[in-house]
Amino acid sequence: MRTIHWLYLVTILLFVASVGLFVAGASASARIAGEVSDVATTRQIMDGIVMPAAAVVFGSVATIVTKEATEERQPRTAEEWAFVGANAAAIIESGNLLMMGSRVVDKDDWITMTRAMMDAGGVALKATEARDVEGLFSSGEAINEACDACHMKYQQQ
């Protein structure tokens, strides 16, 4: 249980930090061009935001069968839905970070694939807002496909 609380805290802190960076970057760039800089590498964004957030979304709906019992895992409380929703939002916001500064590998596939990841995160976020278990389960496949397509192209380089 302590691990879940720790992951929740880390996820929320990363989400708040990424939102803060995005908002600060957007307002600062409107006034003063060039003062916003990208700090984290693409790998750090993936390891620190995208992968932990995707793991929460993926693991939020599952059927676990053992010899003793079958467990239907899904968010049930308002707090659980909010936690999964915060992680879906972190996936979306991380896309904004991946399209900033020196992280942009190219202006074609990189942008298209990043937007696909953001759209898939949006499906998960909408499912959490509607408390739609099936929609949340389905969103995992879209997130996975978006990530796999990008990794197939860019991790090879």
Give the lowest-confidence range in 15-24, 57-66, 69-78, 137-146: 15-24
pLDDT tens sequence across 17-58: 676 667 666 555 555 555 667 889 999 999 999 999 999 999
- What class has domain 2-154? mainly alpha
70-120 pLDDT per residue, tens = 999 999 999 999 999 999 999 999 999 999 988 888 888 999 999 999 999
Tell me if 113 sits within 8 A of 146, measured CB to CB.
yes
pLDDT score, position 26: 58
Residue 119, amino acid: D
Q: What is the pLDDT of residue 51?
A: 94
- Assigned token pair, 86: 């915060």
